[in-house]
Structure 1
Amino acid sequence: MVAAGLTGCGLGPESSQDSGQSEGTAQPDPTSSAPAVTEPTQGEPPVRPRVTGTVASGLAVPWGIAFLPDGSAVVTERDSRRVLRLTPGADGTADVDELGEVVAAAPEVEGGLLGVAVSPDFATDDTLFVYATTNEDNTVFRVTLDGDEFGQPTPMLTGIPKGVIHDGGRLAFGPDGFLYVSTGETGDPGLAQDPDSLAGKILRITTDGDPAPGNPEAGSPVFSLGHRNVQGLAFDESGQLWASEFGDQTFDELNRVEAGGNYGWPEVEGRGGGRGFVDPVQTWSTAEASPSGLAFADGTLWMAALRGQTLWQVPLEGSGTGRPVDLFTSDYGRIRTVVTTPDGDLWIATSNRDGRGEPADEDDRILLVSLG
């Protein structure tokens, strides 16, 4: 068993409040065909989530969390480059063991060792996928995990542009068996609209790193474009993909993602009311959110918020959403990641040691949130 170290990047403002200016803010258009939108609010949630325990503490910027078939979880630490296994006990607390390190990761500001996903065929192929910022680019690696033996990470998708900010990094397998990869525009807004760049996109690939069959453009891994910095991906019970995304100076976004959709950045921040772009289903002020991880459970999307220091509860209603409710605001500081547990509850991970928070002695922590 190991105790996780404590590190931080030491930089200033949240990336959704960086020095870049949006090329236009948006207002709702009553003629838009986008799903109905309601304003965020404080209020009583439809269920009453509550933090019922600390799964692990003393971690160093936990970023990605993915559960293995045996109920243990693989956790990546952005700045330490370590890959951990958390094995919950009967009381909910977890033993923390170091599996290995992704040496190729080169942490810098928002980059480093980021997302992790478990192969849908893990029982037979023992395969994990991790996203890391290297010295040259952002890369998706494949690595085998045989018991506690962490293999040598092998690049499977390279050439994703890197930056000190806006590196994307979230990984999620869809119900179609393909791997969805979020990327950021690296602080260069024009890359988000460039169909030949992998930056500012959601990608859809096979487990060999090839463009998935049926992508909007044959031979391209690009599934959707016009994204500033997608930090959360989640599929609901119908198989619909949702994404949480950093805005710039005005609007953070929750998007309902469709194949080939153009989500507007940098031409539009927030709702554009047509113009060939897909409107977000929800927006928040950047002070309320700076959204990161996203999960689905109990008919609801759960969105972690960094600058907002909140877990947003967003009920799904038809093809749109109901009224969001903020939970645990300022109770635990910056919330980086939220995932659904095998039991249908949630784990949330703090990010108070990333250089932008005010860490408590126990930080960073993974907390158990019980639903209902």
Structure 2
Amino acid sequence: MDRRVEGTKIVRRRAVTAVLAASALLLAAGCSSDSGGTPGPAAGRSSNPSAAQSAPSREAAEETPPAKGTVKVVRTVAEGLNSPWGLAPVPGGGGLLVSSRDEGTITRVDEKSGAKTELGEVPGVSAAGEGGLLGIALSPDYASDRMIYAYFTSASDNRIVRMLYDADKPAGEQLGAPDTVFKGIPKGFIHNGGRIAFGPDRMLYVGTGESGDKGLSQDKESLGGKILRLTPEGEPAPGNPFPDSPVYSYGHRNVQGLAWDTEQRLFAAEFGQDTWDELNAIKPGDNYGWPEAEGTSDDAKYHNPLAQWGTDEASPSGIAHAEGSIWMAGLKGKRLWRIPLKGTEASADPQAFLDGEYGRLRTVVSAGGNKLWLTTSNTDGRGTPKEGDDRILELEVS
């Protein structure tokens, strides 16, 4: 029977076929507010292995990155961007697609020249507070279908649409009509989540916020304060931990960072409130504690973060994996964090780079090998823009 999303509750939608379920199960087996809330006491960062997740045996054979790494800013790719939020590299050197939270537009940036071409405006975006046009991702079949997925705040909810990208049309008219893939994610002036990414299993992962209503995070029937896992068509993905539900993990406050390592393990960053921001290793069906726990907890029913920071030091948005480490962009912290990994634990203390040099940092994306794309976020209403803001930087890391 049909399954629809009504408000913040989940009700039934049609099931996927058994063949698709079996295939995805095999694949899956491998696999706060921007200011960080009201600043609490200065509580320095610490690294905390999770007691709730056992490390796979293959981790013993993985090479552990050095405790200390390096970051080099190779160049400024583009300047003059307004409230950039999502960033999606087009395969084959086809440019970088950037969403503008406040303008509701998607722009293509030539990664060599920095030239900008507006694809068009996404209809229905209602930008206010932390809401607007947020994360974007390319279809896993982008080479053949040319589909762009976008997460945005509408007048009634947060939702995901997909649109055809036709580069042969005139600038400003290159986005096709949006097809709504998923809707009903709670919206608020704060905590709208917004990061979307296709995983190694070709499923769509979605980081949501609790929209300022803390109780939604522990309610498994709500879409708020969750990581969702969907098929590209917006169905609950086969193999999800709760029957007929898109919920993959819960007990989150505001997830804006999603990334996988080379072993197809999922990591997520989320904003804390007064004390701790978190980097988590995500295990299907686990409870990450909010609002009962912020940071490390002694209660075994909550999955502890692998690293945590005082909210003044991080307020994390995007994350990426490169060179054996997670790289995490900090908004209020105005720095890029390196968290070296061994399996699903931090192998050394997190290390900070670019501290205050470029202001607020929003999104970090792998550019292949030891390179990253990094966007600043100084025109979002909470930063102090300098001449040239906002910008995209190219980094070399180790």
Global fold match (TM > 0.5): yes
> Which of 129, 139, 153 is equivalent to 1:109?
129
Higher mean C-alpha deviation, range 181-190 or range 143-152:
143-152
2:288 to 263, 267, 272: 263
TM-score when scaled to structure 2?
A: 0.83
1:128 to 148, 154, 173: 148
Partner residue of 1:301 out of 280, 301, 326: 326
Are 1:352 and 2:378 an aligned pair? Answer: yes
- Decide whether the 8 Å contact of 1:340 with 1:347 is kept in 2: yes
- Give the distance between the partners of 2:35 and 2:78, measured in 1 at CA: 27
Percent identical: 48
Match of 2:100 in 1: 77
- Contact 1:253–1:282 (Cα < 8 Å) also in 2: yes
Find the aligned partners of 2:49 and 2:116 in 1 and give their Cα distance: 51
Structure 1 residues 30 and 167 mapped into 2: Cα distance closer, same or farther (>3 Å)?
closer
Cα 1:16–1:29, aligned 2, differ >3 Å: closer, same or farther? closer
**Structure 2 vs 1, CA of residues 238 and 15 (structure 1 numbering), >3 Å: closer, same or farther?**
same
**Residues 248-307 of structure 1, C-alpha deviation per residue, up to 9 Å, x if partnerless?**
000000000010010000000001123411000000000100001000111111000000
For the Cα contact (< 8 Å) 1:173–1:179, is it kept in 2? yes
**CA distance in 1: counterparts of 2:141 and 2:351, whole angstroms:** 36
Which residue of 1 is the match for residue 80 of structure 2? 58
**Structure 1 residue aligned with 2:314:** 289
In 1: Cα distance, 2:175 partner to 2:292 partner = 43
Q: Any idea what the Cα deviations from partners look like across 1:205-257, whole Å, max 9, x if unmatched?
A: 01110000010112110000000000100011000000000000000000000
Superposition map of 1:1-372 within 5 A? 14-18=34-38, 32-33=51-52, 46-71=68-93, 72-89=95-112, 93-148=113-168, 149-321=174-346, 322-342=348-368, 344-372=370-398
How far is 1:46 from its partner?
3.2
What secondary structure, in the 3-state scheme, does the structure 2 residue paired with 1:123 have?
A: helix
1:165 Cα deviation from its structure 2 partner: 0.2
1:124 is paired with a residue of what secondary structure? Answer: helix
Q: RMSD of the TM alignment (CA)?
A: 2.1
Alpha-carbon distance in 1 for matches of 2:81, 2:320: 21
Partner secondary structure for residue 289 of structure 1 = coil
- Call closer, same or farther: CA 1:297–1:151 in 2, change over 3 Å: same
Give 5+ residue unaligned stretches, structure 2.
1-32, 41-45, 56-65, 169-173
Unaligned runs of 5+ in 1: 1-12, 22-26, 37-43
Query: 1:102 corresponds to which letter in structure 2?
Result: V
Partner SS, residue 110 of structure 2: strand
CA contact (8 A) 1:66 1:117 kept: yes
Q: Residue type matched to 1:82 in 2?
A: T
Confirm or deny: 8 A CA contact 2:108 2:117 kept in the other structure.
Answer: yes
Contact kept? 1:339, 1:348, Cα under 8 Å? yes
SS in structure 2 of the partner of residue 94 of structure 1: coil
Residues 311, 328 of structure 1: 8 Å contact kept: yes
Change in Cα spacing, 1:181 to 1:32, as seen in structure 2 (3 Å) is: closer
Q: Contact conserved, 2:34 with 2:271, CA < 8 A, in 1?
A: no
Report the TM-score when normalising by structure 1. 0.88
**SS in structure 1 opposite 2:36?**
helix
Q: 2 CA distance for matches of 1:290 and 1:69?
A: 30
Check whether the contact 2:322–2:369 (CA below 8 A) recurs between aligned residues.
no
| Aligned amino acid, residue 247 of structure 1 | G
Distance 1:248 1:29 in 2: 18
Are the structure 2 counterparts of residues 145 and 269 from structure 1 closer, same or farther at C-alpha, using a change threshold of 3 Å? same
